[in-house]
Amino acid sequence: LGGHSLLAARVVARVRRVFGVELPLRTLFEASTVAGLAAEIAALCAEAPAQPLAALLRVEREGPLPLSFAQERLWFLHQLDPGSAAYNMPVAVDLAGALDRAAFAAAWAEIVRRQESLRTTFPLHGGAPCQRIAPPADTPLPFIDLSALPAGRGESEAEGLEREHAARAFDLERGPLATVLLVRLAPERHRFLLNLHHTIADGWSFGVLLRELGALYGAGRAGRPSPLPELAVQYADFAAWQRAELAGKVEAELAYWERRLGGEISVAELPADRPRPAVQTFRGGWRQLVLAPELTARLHRFGRGEGATLFMILLAAVQALLSRHSGEQDVIVGAPVAGRSRVETEGLIGCFLNTLALRTDLSGTPGFRELVARVRTVTLEAYAHQNVPFEAVLARLRLDRDLSRPPLFQVLFNLLSLPPADEALPGLDVRMRAPAEVPSKLDLTFYVSEAASQVWMHLVYNACLFDEARIADLLAQLEMLLEQAVERPEAALDGLSLVTAAARAVLPDPGQALAEPAFPPAAHLFLDRVRDLPGEPALEWRGGTWSYAELAQRAREIALAVRAAGAGPGTVVAVFGGRSPELIAGLLGALLAGGALLILDRKLPAARLRAMVELAKPACLIDLGGPGARFWEEGAFPVLPIRPASTPLPPAAAVAEAAGEVPPPAPDDPAYVFFTSGTTGRPKAVLGRQRGLSHFLSWQRATFGIAPGDRAAQLTGLSFDVVLRDVFLPLVSGATLVLPEEEDVSPERLLPWLAARAITVAHTVPTLAGAWLGAAPPGFVAPALRWTFFAGEPLLEQVVLRWRAACPHSGVVNLYGPTETTLAKCFFHVPDPPVAGVQPVGVPLPQTQALVLAAGARLCGPGEVGEIVVRTPFRSLGYLDNPEESRLRFRPNPFRDDPADLLYFTGDRGRHRLDGSLEILGRLDDQVKIRGVRVEPAEVRAALGRHPSVWESALLVQEHRPGDQRLVACVVARPGAVCDPETLRRHLRQELPEAMVPSIFLPLEALPLTPNGKVDRRALARRVQEAREQALDGDEGEARALRTPVEEIVAGLWSEVLGTPRIGPEDNFFQLGGHSLSGAQVVSRLREVFRIELPLRTLFEAPTLASLA
**pLDDT tens digits, residue range 164-211?**
999 999 999 999 999 999 999 999 999 999 999 999 999 899 999 999
Task: For domain 928-1033, say whether CATH 3.30.300.30 is its number.
Answer: yes
> Please, which pLDDT band fits residue 135 given cuts at 50, 70 and 90?
very high
Q: What percent of the chain has pLDDT over 70?
A: 89
54 pLDDT exceeds 70?
no
Q: What is the mean pLDDT of the chain?
A: 87
Taking the chain, what is the end-to-end CA distance rounded to the nearest angstrom? 61
Is the pLDDT assigned to residue 1033 strictly greater than 60? no
Find the mean pLDDT for residues 158-168.
94
Residue 514 to residue 687: CA distance in whole angstroms: 22
Q: What are phi and psi of 831, to 5 degrees?
A: -75, 175
What 3-state class would DSSP assign to 620? Answer: strand
- On whether the CB atoms of residues 94 and 431 are closer than 8 A, the answer is yes
Q: Is the pLDDT of residue 862 over 80?
A: yes
Q: What pLDDT was estimated at residue 371?
A: 98
Enumerate long-range contacts of 77-83, CB under 8 Å, 24 or more apart. Answer: 77/1076, 78/170, 78/172, 78/199, 79/1080, 79/1095, 79/1096, 80/403, 80/1096, 80/1097, 80/1100, 81/1097, 82/169, 83/169
One fold for 928-1033 and 1038-1108: no
CATH class of 1038-1108: mainly alpha
CA distances from 91 to 69, 204, 450 (A): 25, 13, 21
- What are the distances in angstroms from CA 221 to CA 105, 190, 206, 213, 214? 11, 17, 22, 12, 10
- Which residues are CB-contacts of 781 (< 8 A; sequence separation ≥ 6)? 755, 806, 807, 808
For the chain, the residue count is: 1109
Backbone angles phi, psi at 717, to 5 degrees: -60, 145
Exposed e or buried b for every residue in 330-347, given b needs 16+ CB within 10 A?
A: bbbbbbbbbbbbbebbeb
Instruction: Read off the pTM.
Output: 0.79
One-letter amino acid of 40: E
What dotted CATH number matches 69-238? 3.30.559.10
Residue 371 φ then ψ, to 5°:
-65, -40
Confidence of residue 330 (pLDDT cuts 50, 70, 90): very high
Q: What is the phi/psi pair of residue 908, to 5°? A: -90, 140
Cβ atoms of residues 569 and 667 within 8 Å: no
Distance CA 800, CA 813 (A): 10
The packing angle between helices 101-114 and 203-222, to 10°, is 130
What pLDDT score does 646 carry?
A: 43
Residues 6 or more apart whose CB falls under 8 angstroms from that of 368 comprise 316, 317, 320, 485, 486, 488, 489, 490, 491, 493
Q: Please report the pLDDT score of residue 805 as a whole number.
A: 94
For residue 446, give the nearest of 401, 412, 471 by alpha carbon.
Answer: 412
Q: How confident is the model at residue 30 (pLDDT cuts 50, 70, 90)?
A: low
pLDDT mean over 1049-1059: 87
The whole-angstrom separation of Cα 405 and Cα 969 is 23
Residue 162: CB partners within 8 Å, gap ≥ 6? 90, 92, 191, 193, 433, 436
- What residue spans define the domains of the chain? 5-47, 69-238, 250-417+428-489, 520-708, 928-1033, 1038-1108
Residue 10: predicted pLDDT: 56
pLDDT at 934: 47
> Can you name the CATH fold of 250-417+428-489?
Chloramphenicol Acetyltransferase (3.30.559)
Q: What angle do CA 57, 60, 61 make, to 5 degrees?
A: 125
- Distance CA(454)–CA(459), nearest Å, equals 16
Query: Taking residues 1059-1079, what's their average pLDDT?
Result: 76
- The whole-angstrom separation of Cα 1040 and Cα 1070 is 18
Q: Which of 878, 873, 866 has its CA nearest to residue 911?
A: 866
pLDDT at 831 over 60: yes
d(CA 531, CA 519): 18
Other residues' Cβ atoms within 10 Å of the Cβ of residue 573: 31
- The percent helix, strand, coil of the chain (3-state, each to 5) is 40, 20, 40
pLDDT at 381: 94
The pLDDT score that the predictor gives to residue 1064 is 86
CATH fold of 520-708 reads Rossmann fold (3.40.50)
Following DSSP, what letter does each residue of 310-347 receive, concatenated? HHHHHHHHHHHHHHHHH--SEEEEEEEE----SGGGTT
Q: How many other CB atoms sit within 10 Å of the CB of residue 921?
A: 20
Q: Nearest-CA neighbor of 327 among 842, 852, 931? A: 852
Q: Are the C-beta atoms of 75 and 153 separated by less than 8 Å?
A: no
Please give the Cα distance from 665 to 522 (Å, whole number): 10
**Is the predicted pLDDT of residue 255 greater than 60, yes or no?**
yes
Average pLDDT over residues 780-807: 93
d(CA 721, CA 676): 10
Q: What is the DSSP letter of 173?
A: T
pLDDT on residue 650? 38
Query: How far is residue 342 CA from its own chain's centroid?
Result: 41
823 near 797, Cβ under 8 Å?
Answer: no
DSSP assignment of 885-932: HHHHHEEE-TTSS-TT-EEEEEEEEEEE-TTS-EEEEEETT---EETT
302 has which bridge partners? none
Binned at pLDDT 50, 70 and 90, residue 681 comes out as very low
- Report CA Rg, the chain: 36
Alpha-carbon distance values, 724 to 595, 815, 826 (Å): 15, 14, 17
Output b/e per residue, 1062-1074; b: 16+ Cβ within 10 A.
ebbbebebbebeb
Distance CA 196, CA 205 (A): 10
Report the distance separating Cα 187 and Cα 193, nearest Å.
17
**pLDDT at position 615:** 92
For the segment 706-716, what is each residue's pLDDT rounded down to a tens digit?
A: 999 999 999 98
Rounded distance between C-alpha atoms, residue 889 and residue 904, angstroms: 6
pLDDT tens sequence across 567-599: 989 899 999 988 999 999 999 999 999 999 999
d(Cα 1038, Cα 1047) in Å, to the nearest integer? 14
